[in-house]
Amino acid sequence: NAGVTQTPKFRILKIGQSMTLQCAQDMNHNYMYWYRQDPGMGLKLIYYSVGAGITDKGEVPNGYNVSRSTTEDFPLRLELAAPSQTSVYFCASSYVDDTQYFGPGTRLTVL
């Protein structure tokens, strides 16, 4: 049971490039989330999903897109990378009891 996995661990992008952050979970959780963590700050919710085919915006969705075609996977897409998107990105999943399980994170730098 791998839990929540994220790839890549690190990435450097140039302004205007695009990329997809991958997230997968093997716990059969319905709910999945993407957060970003900026230095000295708590995590802020970008997007979430309550099941395959259903996604919704969180607190800071601008500049990102998501899809949820399967229960297991919840990729996060950056279309036109900007320096403001330099952050650490965490994916999480949960079942019905509120406890969220987090992946190890992806550290993204946009130059």
Q: Which is nearer to another protein, 59 or 79 (CB)?
A: 59
Pick 31 or 81: Cβ nearer another protein:
31
DSSP label at residue 15: T
Tell me how far apart the 2 most distant CA atoms of the chain are, in Å: 40
- Nearest C-alpha neighbor of 105 from the set 28, 1, 5: 5
Q: What are phi and psi of 8, to 5 degrees?
A: -80, 175
Among 19, 20, 65, 101, binds another protein (CB under 8 A): 101
Cβ distance to another protein smaller for residue 14 or 98: 98
Stretch near another protein under the rule CB under 8 A, chosen from 17-25, 33-41, 61-69, 73-81: 33-41
